[in-house]
Amino acid sequence: MEIANIHEAKSQLSKLVEHAMNGEEVIIAKAGQPMVRLVPIHADDSPCVGGQWKGRVRIADDFDALPDDIAAVFGIEPQ
């Protein structure tokens, strides 16, 4: 495991990326406190694509309306 402070990470980023790509754990710290972990992105880590449920889900017109009994519990004026 390699731990690098932010200043060192700035000047040696290419080396740290190479270490992470080779499977080594790379931690970047600030003032000695670990802050982030540098990890490689693999082909199967591609971002999710939305829209699969389009046309299949309906949101009720009163979805955002707070029922009077629940509003009363929280001391909110009924709408």
pLDDT tens track for 33-43: 999 999 888 76
Number of structural domains found in the chain: 1
Read off the pTM: 0.52
Torsion of CA 22, 28, 8, 12, to 10 degrees: 30
Beta carbons of 16 and 9 less than 8 angstroms apart:
yes
**Tens digit of pLDDT at every position of the chain (79 positions):** 889 999 999 999 999 999 999 999 999 999 989 999 998 887 676 677 888 899 999 999 989 888 889 999 999 887 6
Q: Is residue 53 part of a domain?
A: no
Q: Is residue 16 part of a domain?
A: yes
Q: Which domain holds residue 19?
A: 2-40
Q: Is residue 58 part of a domain?
A: no
CATH of the domain at 12: 3.40.1620.10
